[in-house]
Structure 1
């Protein structure tokens, strides 16, 4: 995987093969950030990266000037890799080792952008739990957005606060906003 734009543009990041990850493809990531670039100033947003895995999305935000980034993953190896990579690039990324659902049930700190990349084989009930907890516990700032990455075979359009989806190859991004 590589960083698409910003201070660290072009830098390649190679995660250990033993990590249980499926990084967002460069094509899908570039398309997503083109959309976000038209809506937000990256140096003025706060980002919550759920199921952060390799930290791919967090690094992209950091490279573009975002200073308030929190990455949450249940896997110790993923958190360790994000910490090491962020330190080597001198990026400010706060990491939290936690089950995402346990984390979202705690007292919230609102974020501008919340990105969630759960396992593609999640049952629909678990996908539905993500926006439910985020909107119920007010994790989003005004004008904020929740983006869930999932397979094109998963349909989230029936969930509360769903706005729209964008498809890139086998990847889908579903956007959720406060009604």
Structure 2
């Protein structure tokens, strides 16, 4: 796995094999950032990366110039790995890492709101878990009015009838669903 674009383009992210992660593939990540690039100037937005794992998405945003990134994961090994990556890339002023259960984190907003919230929960999550993420983001005002929540999920999770769904993009086995709360 590598950083696709920006200041750290081509940098490899080699996480230890004992970490419980399923990183977004380079193919899917590149497609996701192509979509987001049409909506945002990365150096002007803030990012909340939920279930950040080894930080592939957080590091990609940092490489593209995002100035405020909050990464949340409950696994101590993942948090340690991402902390080491951030330190080695001198990104400490950009990226904050929170070790916490995402649902507990989302219950109380002490971080303000964000233009982009990305969530890549474990694929074993059920539809109700995804719905809970959407509900907590909306109820606790995590998203700026012009912002989008992006959920990465498998094909068995469907949002076709959700009132805040903007679109779903499919890249192989990976699906990205985009939500806003303006409507």
TM-score calculated relative to the size of structure 1: 0.97
1:31-50: CA deviation from partner (whole Å, max 9, x where unpaired): 00001111100000000000
Using the TM superposition, give the Cα deviation of residue 52 of structure 1 relative to its aligned residue in structure 2, in angstroms.
Answer: 0.2
Structure 1 CA distance for aligned equivalents of residues 162 and 73 of structure 2: 24
Structure 2 CA distance for aligned equivalents of residues 131 and 157 of structure 1: 14
Partner of 1:142: 145
Closer, same or farther in 2 for the Cα pair 1:59/1:38, shift >3 Å? same
Using the TM superposition, give the Cα deviation of residue 136 of structure 1 relative to its aligned residue in structure 2, in angstroms.
Answer: 1.0
Helix, strand or coil: the match of 2:36?
helix
**Structure 2 unaligned runs (5+)?**
none
Helix, strand or coil: the match of 1:90?
coil
Partner of 2:118: 115
Structure 1 CA distance for aligned equivalents of residues 65 and 158 of structure 2: 33
1:114-170: CA deviation from partner (whole Å, max 9, x where unpaired): 000001110111111011000111110121000000012221223341211000000
Aligned residues: 179
Partner of 2:60: 60
Question: How do residues 81-100 of structure 1 correspond to structure 2 at under 5 angstroms?
Answer: 81-91=81-91, 92-100=94-102
Partner of 2:36: 36
Helix, strand or coil: the match of 2:77?
helix
**Structure 1 unaligned runs (5+)?**
none
User: Is the contact made by 1:131 and 1:160 (CA closer than 8 Å) also made in structure 2?
Assistant: no
Helix, strand or coil: the match of 1:165?
strand
CA-based RMSD of the aligned residues comes to 0.9
Runs of 4+ in 1 over 6 A off after TM superposition: none
Helix, strand or coil: the match of 1:54?
coil
Partner of 2:157: 154
Using the TM superposition, give the Cα deviation of residue 29 of structure 1 relative to its aligned residue in structure 2, in angstroms.
Answer: 0.3
Structure 2 CA distance for aligned equivalents of residues 167 and 104 of structure 1: 26
Structure 1 CA distance for aligned equivalents of residues 119 and 13 of structure 2: 20
Partner of 2:46: 46
